[in-house]
Amino acid sequence: MHPVRPTRTSVRRLLPLLAFSVALAGSAGPGSTTLALMQGTPSVSSPVFPGDLRPDAPELSARGPHAVGVRTVQLTNRNQLDIAKAATPLTRYDRPLTVEVWYPATLKAGETQVTSYPDVLGSGPGDPKRPLIPFQTPGRAARNAGPETGRYPLVIVSHGYPGSRVLLSYLCENLASKGYVVAAIDHTDSTHADKAAFASTLLNRPLDDQFVLDSMATFGKAGSGSFLSGIVDADNTALVGYSMGGYGALNFAGAGFAKQVMGFVPGGALAARATGAYTVDPRLKAVVAFAPWGGDYAVRSIGVPGAAEFGFWDAAGLAGIKVPTLFVVGDHDDVAGYVGGVQSLFQNAVNSDRYMVVYQNARHNSAPNPPPPESVGLPDEYGHYAEPAWDMGRLNNLNEHFVTAFLNYRLKGQTDAAAYLNVKSVKADAGVYSRNTDGTPKPDDTYWKGFPARSAVGIELYHMQPK
């Protein structure tokens, strides 16, 4: 059969209907999809503020009872190896780190939880195909607000390569509203603005994590003079890492690197993070690893030969993870990999009580904020944030839900939060929604806790206990 070609008359008849549909879409406001298309600018499917709730968001996605403050802190880690310069012998320098800190706040009259976070599009300086383009991400936090009295567990957040301290700002704000102090790192040599030698990232991720934990613990001491004095419970710390941040988080948690990868960083510097070479900080109580890089798939995909069985790790290295860990990954991840990648890391972290959330048909971008409007029309930049088969607002809500359940369980000791993770059916689509008129589940109900009817689809959740 051949398609019917529209005649001029038929097109003329359609024009009033098209005009009517445009008018309806335009009435939705200046951000509507149809109006944006009329103006020649594709729209970005995301909330006005990253992390805002969709109507179908699961229960624990909602913000908590605390107002949120945010401040920017400058740190300097003295006498560190300067891997980026690749000098022989290696030189040392004072390594600067910028950290964004979100915390439960007490607002003064007239203070509002509205701010913005500066960042740039691009992949480091000097790339004519991806020039650095400044933009602002809107946020729901009060800049420099006073802290709320209390003592709150610490969450450290480590971005991808390249990335920034505000790449997951939606999650940082959300956790702070639930009674956590959140410190997100700009890893020097690894941000959108200053991306440099990859070897610097390979070495410095876990070292930066350690330094920030030590610094936050110092700031949290009584009489420190910091705005964080008395409110940081650094003895209950979680580390959240995305991509290369996940690589560093696994190593920080005890996954020592295999001998086969020692040559990947000049001067044998990576040996300090090898299996058996260091002790895991006892203050670390949980890890969330979004699409952690470094498995066999990831190493092979960049053409690096001669790595270990699981990329940067062998079985003994992964067995070193003993803290509870939540893995989050797309089953079509084309950077860290799923089969032969994150799935293998999850399965072989045999001494950890661990969960793995799998987003079906998702690629690597399971964690970040939605694409900024400035990325539209720039495929490399848009693709740095977006998932082709998922709405990013939906993924953000799901991450808020699962991370909240995990951290409430592991850092705050809320054992009832485990019910959101210990699901009755591994695949959400297989869950049966069967409720009484008052909303309580019937005996045959197997639906995932916290999900509205017909909303738990396209997700898998696995649990493996330590051996």
The per-residue pLDDT for 85 is 87
pLDDT at 9 over 90: no
C-alpha 136/C-alpha 157 separation (Å) is 19
Q: Is the pLDDT of residue 65 over 60?
A: yes
What's the mean pLDDT in 418-428?
98
Q: With 50 as the cut, is the pLDDT of residue 381 above it?
A: yes
Q: What pLDDT score does 2 carry?
A: 38
Give 14-48 pLDDT, tens digit per residue: 333 223 232 323 333 333 333 233 333 334 444 47
Q: How confident is the model at residue 324 (pLDDT cuts 50, 70, 90)?
A: very high
Amino acid 36: pLDDT: 33
Average pLDDT over residues 453-465: 98
Domains and CATH numbers, the chain: 12-38 (no CATH), 59-423+450-464 (3.40.50.1820)
At 70, is the pLDDT very low, low, confident or very high (cuts 50, 70, 90)? Answer: very high
The count of other CB atoms within 10 Å of the CB of residue 377 is 11
The predicted pLDDT at position 43 comes to 41
Q: In this predicted model, what pLDDT tens digit does every residue of 119-175 receive, in sequence order?
A: 999 999 999 999 999 999 999 999 999 999 999 999 999 999 999 999 999 999 999
Q: What are phi and psi of 190, to 5 degrees?
A: -135, 10
Average confidence score pLDDT of the chain:
91
Q: What is the pLDDT of residue 119?
A: 98
Across 87-91, 175-179, 375-379, least confident range: 87-91
Placement of tokens 């946020």 in the chain: 139
pLDDT at position 185: 99
pLDDT of residue 48: 78
For 175-224, write each residue's pLDDT tens digit: 999 999 999 999 999 999 999 999 999 999 999 999 999 999 999 999 99
Q: Would you state the pLDDT for residue 340?
A: 97
Task: Provide the percentage of residues in the chain whose pLDDT is more than 70.
Answer: 90
Is pLDDT above 70 for 467?
yes
Q: Which two tokens stand for residue 291?
A: 């699409």
User: Which pLDDT does position 254 carry in this prediction?
Assistant: 98
- In this predicted structure, the answer to whether residue 411 has a pLDDT above a threshold of 90 is yes
Band of residue 450 on the pLDDT scale cut at 50, 70, 90: very high
pTM for the whole structure: 0.90
Q: What is the mean pLDDT of residues 307-314?
A: 97
Q: What's the average model confidence in pLDDT over 406-430? A: 98
